[in-house]
Amino acid sequence: MKIIIVGASFAGMSAALECHQIYPEAQIVLMDKEKEVGFFPNVFNWQLKGELKQIEEARSELWGQVQQTRIDVRLETRFVRLDADNQVLIVEQGEQVLEEAYDVLILAMGAKQVWEVEDKALHERILSSKYFLDAQKSWEKIRAAQSVIIIGGGQIGLESADALSQLPLSLTLFEAETTPLAKYVDADLMAGIEEELKKRQIDVHTAEIVENISLSPSGNKVQVDTLKGSYEADYLLLATNFQPNTDIVGGILECNPDKTIIVDDYLETSQPNIFAIGDLIQLPFAFFGKAYLPLINHAILTGRLVAYNLLKKRRPLQEVQRIVSSHLFGYNITSVGLTERQAQLWTDVDTVVLQAPFSQWEIDELTFKLIVQKSDGRLLGGQLISTSRYIHQMNILSLAISNGMTAQDMVEQSWLCLPRYTNLVPIVAEACQLYLHRQEEESAHED
Ligand SMILES: Cc1cc2nc3c(=O)[nH]c(=O)nc-3n(C[C@H](O)[C@H](O)[C@H](O)COP(=O)(O)OP(=O)(O)OC[C@H]3O[C@@H](n4cnc5c(N)ncnc54)[C@H](O)[C@@H]3O)c2cc1C
């Protein structure tokens, strides 16, 4: 069996490694258009913050694992056309155009930034960091810069703002929502971060949508137009939504309106023997049915899963929990499941907010918000913002949400095992307890 995997990043490398385990006799080809692969997309920010002693620290360990196998890795090899009827890929390697037959094709081409810029001179004014070589070019450009505009105040935009604010730069950030990080963190928890943005003199424009990007009249700056004004800077950093790289297969494989490839529960596309994974697809997500959740852990999950389904449909996709974690402006921020605002679109919700410092927990600063369904106390989501690291708490919450647990279940479970009898701070259980007390008080009051 010959398995071709297009895209040697988190999804593609995971798929290749799993296929190598399950089908030791198979010929596995892992191809990528880039010369350097396997780097985390945050490499540019880590470099800016001086967090890397060696650049290799920014490369996923999956790459090292791939290199220890017989997987046939072909870099600087671009997939340009698909002949699904004859099970053939057309690829470019330098000047050469080659045909590659496959028995199974796994597509893992990832996503790109939505804003397409054709003008070459304007392109030069954009800082790009998704691929390693682009990140290195951006790193060179930023040394001579005095001002940068960031479009998008989500996780990527704020991480970039945090990193760039270490340099003597004038920074402007545009965000269409009324608060930054709105997809992951409710507005009532953002005070600390907003304060930090002010302290670092980052000019934040919320509820302001960028309409146009062009070169400034002088030709040596980038100009950004919104309905409220025009702004100029030396460079522009796009941190907006992603769009899957599906142009090549658009007419051949069935796609959703957002350009994700439609796959069945076993990750197979509308064409037999062609599978799609990672940032190319939507995933089953509580309440939403399906949602586009482009994250590294989802790329790895689908990459591993697909390998089991190549010959026989064995392991279906399960509903995923979105868990997003960032270190921003000195705070660790983790968001799991739905925010209050998202949950309100589907059901009636209640929330509990815990705030520290708590002397008994020896925590510097912490805010935790729990979101539950009003009718039955089912856990829907949580957000944790802390100067200490408590991601394990959120993993517990994520598991609880996936298992459909209620606040009552959570409190009972925590009596039995985690985390009360360990040295973990029982934030999630504590919030559930508080919620149940409040419910009891409210029903006593009604009686
Ligand atoms: C700046 C930035 C920061 C991010 N930070 C985080 C974070 O903190 N946490 C998190 O979970 N996620 C983060 N993400 C999202 C994360 O990068 C993606 O979800 C993840 O990389 C998806 O993995 P993938 O393997 O599906 O696709 P990708 O990583 O996009 O890889 C796709 C690969 O396919 C190759 N390819 C594309 N087209 C072709 C072609 N025609 N021929 C050959 N090869 C091709 C590309 O070169 C690439 O190597 C961030 C993204 C960006 C841009």
Mean pLDDT of 215-238: 94
Pocket probe for ligand 1: among 249, 279, 333, the residue whose CB has the most ligand atoms within 8 Å is 279
Whole-number Å distance, alpha carbon 280 to ligand 1 midpoint, is: 10
Answer whether 109 contacts ligand 1 (Cβ < 6 A).
yes
Q: Write the pLDDT tens digit of every residue in 65-118.
A: 999 999 999 999 999 999 999 999 999 999 999 999 999 999 999 998 777 777
Whole-number Å distance, alpha carbon 130 to ligand 1 midpoint, is: 7
Answer whether 31 contacts ligand 1 (Cβ < 6 A).
yes
Mean pLDDT of 283-301: 91
The CA dihedral of 183, 189, 195, 198, to the nearest 10 degrees, is: 20
Q: Is the pLDDT of residue 359 over 80?
A: no
Whole-number Å distance, alpha carbon 5 to ligand 1 midpoint, is: 15
- Of the candidates 128, 132, 88, which has an alpha carbon nearest to the alpha carbon of residue 112? 128
Answer whether 8 contacts ligand 1 (Cβ < 6 A).
yes
Q: Is the pLDDT of residue 388 over 90?
A: no
- DSSP class per residue in 62-78: HHHHHHTS--EEE-S-E
Answer whether 294 contacts ligand 1 (Cβ < 6 A).
yes
Atom number of ligand 1 nearest to Cα 279: 26
Whole-number Å distance, alpha carbon 229 to ligand 1 midpoint, is: 33
Rounded-to-integer distance, Cα 135 and Cα 29, Å: 26
Pocket probe for ligand 1: among 9, 90, 128, 326, the residue whose CB has the most ligand atoms within 8 Å is 9
Atom number of ligand 1 nearest to Cα 296: 11
Q: Is the pLDDT of residue 375 over 90?
A: yes
